[in-house]
Amino acid sequence: MPGIPKPHGGRLVERVLSDKRRLMAIEEARELIGLEISREVAIDLENIARGVFSPLEGFLTRNDYEAVLDTMRLEDDTPWTIPIVLDISEEEIKEKEISEGDEVVLQYSSTPIAFMNVEEIYAWDKKRHVVKVYKTDDVNHPGVARTYEMKDRLIGGKIELISSIKNPFEKYTLWPKETRVLFKHKGWRSIAAFQTRNAPHMGHEYVQKTALTLTDGLFINPLVGRKKKGDFKDEAILKAYEVLIEKYYPKDRVVLAVLRTEMRYAGPREAVFHAILRKNFGCTHFIVGRDHAGVGNYYGPYEAHEIFKEFPDLGIEPIFFREFFYCKICLGYMNEKTCPHKDTEYVIRPSGTKIREMILRGEIPPKEVMRPEVARVLIEFGNPFVE
């Protein structure tokens, strides 16, 4: 049995000020240059500070940024696929007279969130960035559109967390040092992590339970944060999973907790990024489904499987699943490897579009597609989708 892996990069990063230091820090912050940040950046500051993004200790400096773009690794060769950067405008730099070597305070809604040591200020090529990360420069891709809205300079450097922004999902929040203790307490030596931005249908349930047959425990870790229009709302996903776990899962074998960050929709690169984060939580295995973290037709259906061949040193084992569907003849969920009827009228495939349409009409999808209890929870929301 593998046992809980070491955090990515060898140690769990902790960049959180002590309670005593925090009181002094709030006073110090008043004397420093303040930079206003977005809610998404404030959330990821806490991910850095509490080890979710280990081994990062701050926002990427130039050499690490360039290495991630070109090699999908940090400068020291540690696998890392998504650039975690902080943008700033030339106007802000001039107006606030910010220079390399300065200490600034990052603030959200004028509240100090973190200190940052400005190690480097550098230019970036947004088109090069999106082509490397998203494999397209099409502005209809949400990640590309988001990048082009960013400012024209990046600043890199280590951070120290002063305070957190309000977390509406506090009861579902566990940090890596907490999950690692929890998994050990449960006696789990192998844990499969499941990433999701959707409410569960029967295909998801089958994948999760199949992975659970191979491991001691299942870590269901929905991503909550900014998503594109038409995705499920965070609250709807969590309520749906609560009902599903209550009725259909062995409770001593499942942990439900959230990952607070935004979806990047970077397909293969984001699949590896998601695996790294779950390694930091203490998981030994990571479930990679069809078109993981994809959007539209920008990536091949199993491109997110192929990319893992480039990372034999990742330190977490991917579990690859192909498309699952219900077969009326086989009387159960199957895939193309196990079912001889895959191209016949006897197959029912869970369709996200059809599920969405039925839920909005207040209709419960067929039981072969979604648990009625889950559907009812979603229907109660009226509209459980991001608008």
Question: Catalytic site residues?
Answer: 197-198
Question: Which DSSP state fits 232?
Answer: B
At residue 356, what are phi and psi to the nearest 5 degrees?
Answer: -60, -50
Tokens of 26: 């709030």
Q: How far is 25 from 71, CA to CA, in rounded Å?
A: 38
The answer to whether 107 and 35 are in contact (CB under 8 A) is yes
> Omega into 55 within 30° of 0, i.e. cis?
yes
At residue 102, what are phi and psi to the nearest 5 degrees?
Answer: -75, 155
From first CA to last CA, the distance across the chain in angstroms is 45
> How many helices and strands, by DSSP H and E, does the chain display?
13, 16
Q: How far is 182 from 22, CA to CA, in rounded Å?
A: 28
Q: How far is 208 from 228, CA to CA, in rounded Å?
A: 25
Q: How far is 219 from 183, CA to CA, in rounded Å?
A: 10
Got the DSSP string for 95-141?
Answer: HHT--TT-EEEEEETTEEEEEEE--EEEE--HHHHHHHHHS---TTS
Q: How far is 268 from 182, CA to CA, in rounded Å?
A: 30
Q: Which of 317, 230, 273 is nearest to 68 (CA)?
A: 273
At residue 100, what are phi and psi to the nearest 5 degrees?
Answer: -60, 135
Reported as type and span, the H/E element at residue 239 is helix 234-248
Q: How far is 292 from 195, CA to CA, in rounded Å?
A: 9
